[in-house]
Every structure is written in C-alpha cells, then in structure tokens.
Structure 1
Amino acid sequence: MKHQTIGYIRVSSVGQNTDRQLAGIALDRVFEEKASGKTVTARPVLAECLAYVRAGDTLVCHSMDRLARNTEELLGLVRDLTGKGVTVQFLKENLTFSGSDADPFKNLMLSMLAAFGQFERELINERRREGVAAARARGKKFGAPPKLTPELCQQIDTLLASGANKRATAKAVGIGEATLYRYLSEKS
C-alpha cells in the first residue's frame, strides 16, 4: 500500500483565498475547508481528512493555526494522528511530528507555539470586545438600521387608514409583508 502525502488547507470564510497555502507542495490528495477554525466539530472537511489518513501517511498543513485554534485541540490532534502512525508536518513553523520521533524539543515547540497562538487570538478578541463596548458607549449603533423609521410608520398608518390593503401598503413603502405585520402587531 502506497503511503500518501495529504494536504489540509483551511481559511476562515468563503471569500478568502487558499492559494498561498501548500503552493508548490506535491500532494496526493488535498482537503480544503472554508470554515472558522473555532472548533473541530464545526469543520466537517477536517473530520473527513482525519478519517481518511492512514498509518504511514503524512498530513501537511501550512501552519498550526490552520489545523487547530487552541492549544488543547492542536496537541490532541497531533497526538491522535501520530498515535495512529501518521506524520504531521507544519510548513510555516518547520516542524514535523511522527509517532517514531519522540523529540522533547519539538514537543516543547509545539506546545509553546500553540499556546502563543491561542494567547494572541484571545488578545485580539478582548481588544475587539473593548472596542465594541467603547463604540457603543459613544452611541455607535451596530447592525442594519431599522427598516421602520417614524416617517415610514406614519406613511403606513396613512395608507392603511385610507383603505389600502396590507400587501399594497407593504409594496408601496418598500418593506416585506412580514415586516408590516410585525409592525401592526407591535403597534396594537
């Protein structure tokens, strides 16, 4: 049985490009995922990849953060893969792990780099939350503006009072019928 070199590529959203990851690397099969790396359970392509690799195969990832987003998850995945005889290679960090290679220095590097990556993500999330809270305190509104302005509500009331039906009223003011019915139920 021929051992394969398998690539796992992940970007966080559909609009992002995967071209830079594993470019020029000879691979027998590539698993490409466009999903947040928040949890393993939210990544079906990763699950498919993990089920596909066999003893003797090499799983190649551009970097550790493409495989896992937190220290515990990354260490668990690498331990599980190497435990079943799969070699795991991270190109950016220039680290390779296999079950036959118990190098304490590489294990230390894996743990430290994973911890630093998780720490960095947590700092980014904390700064984002602080920024949102500060913007809200300054009166900044997030999300889409409300569809029903006071002027639009007045226009709806006038049209309905003049005898227009609800479907025509919704169309005339440029809202969906569901929005009109929600407005009328909240109004009463």
Structure 2
Amino acid sequence: MSGQRVGYIRVSTVDQHVGRQLDGIELDRVFTDTAPGKDIARPQLRGLLGFVHDGDTVVVHSTAHLARNLDDLRRLVRDLTGSGVRVELVHEHLTFAGDDSPMAQLLLSVMGAYAEFERALIRERQRESIALAKRRVPTDGRKRALDRNQIAALLDRAANGETKTLLAKKLASVAKPSTNTSATKARSEPEPSQ
C-alpha cells in the first residue's frame, strides 16, 4: 500500500500567494506556513513532521520553501528519509528517499547553499534600503506629519482591505515634512556679527 502525498507550502508574508507553489499537483493533505525560511521553527512544518510516516511523500515547491539554511535543509531531508518518507522538490525535479546517490546529495547541497545565499542577498538589500530611508528623514529631525484628511483617507483604504504594503507606499507618497526645513536651518544658525 502506498502512503500519502503531503504538500508543504511556505510564504514569508500574508501578501504572498500560496496557490502557485503546488498548483495542479494531486495531494492528500497540505500544510501551509506564513513565516520566513530563516529557521525551521514553524508551526505547520512541525505539524507536517508529526503527521507523515513511513511510505509517505512530502512534496515541496523548492528547497527555498523548505529551508533557507543549508544545515536545516539537509537535516530535514535526512530526518524525513530516515523515517521512510520520500521528499520531492518539484522545481528542482529532485526526489530523495534515503538511498540517494552522491550526485543527489551534491545537488541538494548546492540548491540549499544557493537558497542560503539568496536569503543573505535579500537581507543585504533590506539593510541598504533601511539606511537609504534613514538618510531621507527631514534634516530638522522631526517626523513627517499627515493632515486629518490624509489620515482619514488612509483609514478608509485600510477598512476596504488594502494591504499594509500598499498603504505604506501611499503613506510615503503623501507624507510631507512638518516644518519648512530651510527656515528651521536659518533659525538655528547664529546671526553674523557686525
């Protein structure tokens, strides 16, 4: 008797769509996490690990959706295959069953290392964006202010279900400095002596 085909889907944020990952693949059950892939402390992944048993197949879109850390990825695949569970990575066209060739292990390591590298690049871009945003703060040190109409408009958009990402973009486009920074600079500079 063959086991169940169990899908695992992971997205980092609620704004991302889960439908494309295992679309069109016949599965008996699916576990879905909305969490970063930096570690394996995810509730649905723990649920999947407790659910599957000998003869089952875990189906994941790609290595990056299972883990973005090479050590975690290899440990997960080793633990699952050691329990008689096959691991199928759809995007990479790889299946692991515990009796894998050295070439299969190399491919897993390469794909896992790439996922880890990709995560490091994402974090680097985030740090660069944060540093750039900090440089854009008004020179007088005050936060940007919104008037009542702008606040009401943003609240209406949020009530209508607009995502946080779009609201943040709108907020950035409508925010304006609360004071005239050139006037503030002029006031703070001492008067020339005569």
Instruction: Please give the alpha-carbon distance, in whole angstroms, between the structure 2 residues aligned to 1:48 and 1:112.
Output: 27
Instruction: Please give the alpha-carbon distance, in whole angstroms, between the structure 2 residues aligned to 1:86 and 1:98.
Output: 7
Task: Report how far residue 94 of structure 1 moved.
Answer: 0.6
Q: Which residue of 2 aligns with 1:112?
A: 110
Instruction: Please give the alpha-carbon distance, in whole angstroms, between the structure 2 residues aligned to 1:51 and 1:38.
Output: 21
Task: Report how far residue 19 of structure 1 moved.
Answer: 0.9
Specify the code of the residue in structure 2 equivalent to 1:97: F
Specify the code of the residue in structure 1 equivalent to 2:25: I
Q: Which residue of 1 aligns with 2:14?
A: 14
Q: Which residue of 2 aligns with 1:133?
A: 131
The TM-score normalised by the length of structure 1 is 0.69
Task: Report how far residue 30 of structure 1 moved.
Answer: 1.1
The TM-score normalised by the length of structure 2 is 0.67
Q: How does 1:45-60 map to 2 (within 5 A)?
A: 45-60=44-59
Q: Any stretches of 5+ residues in structure 1 without a counterpart?
A: 148-188
The structure that has the greater radius of gyration is 1
Q: 1:86 to 1:116 in 2, by over 3 A?
A: same
Aligned-pair Cα RMSD in Å: 2.3
Task: Report how far residue 2 of structure 1 moved.
Answer: 4.6
Q: How does 1:20-169 map to 2 (within 5 A)?
A: 20-41=20-41, 43-99=42-98, 101-139=99-137, 145=143
Specify the code of the residue in structure 1 equivalent to 2:129: G
The superposition leaves residues 136-168 of structure 1 with CA deviations (integer Å, 9 ceiling, x where unpaired) of: 234369xxx578xxxxxxxxxxxxxxxxxxxxx
Bigger mean CA deviation after superposition, 109-118 or 122-131: 122-131
The superposition leaves residues 24-78 of structure 1 with CA deviations (integer Å, 9 ceiling, x where unpaired) of: 111111112222222211x101100011110111000011111112111101100
Q: Secondary structure at the match of 1:40?
A: coil
Runs of 4 or more consecutive aligned structure 1 residues displaced over 6 Å after TM superposition: none
Specify the code of the residue in structure 2 equivalent to 1:60: V
Specify the code of the residue in structure 1 equivalent to 2:74: L
Q: Secondary structure at the match of 1:30?
A: strand
Task: Report how far residue 14 of structure 1 moved.
Answer: 2.0
Q: Which residue of 2 aligns with 1:5?
A: 5
Q: 1:140 to 1:32 in 2, by over 3 A?
A: farther
Instruction: Please give the alpha-carbon distance, in whole angstroms, between the structure 1 residues aligned to 2:45 and 2:10.
Output: 9
Instruction: Please give the alpha-carbon distance, in whole angstroms, between the structure 2 residues aligned to 1:76 and 1:18.
Output: 24
Q: Secondary structure at the match of 2:25?
A: coil
Q: 1:135 to 1:32 in 2, by over 3 A?
A: closer
Specify the code of the residue in structure 2 equivalent to 1:119: F
Instruction: State the identity %.
Output: 51
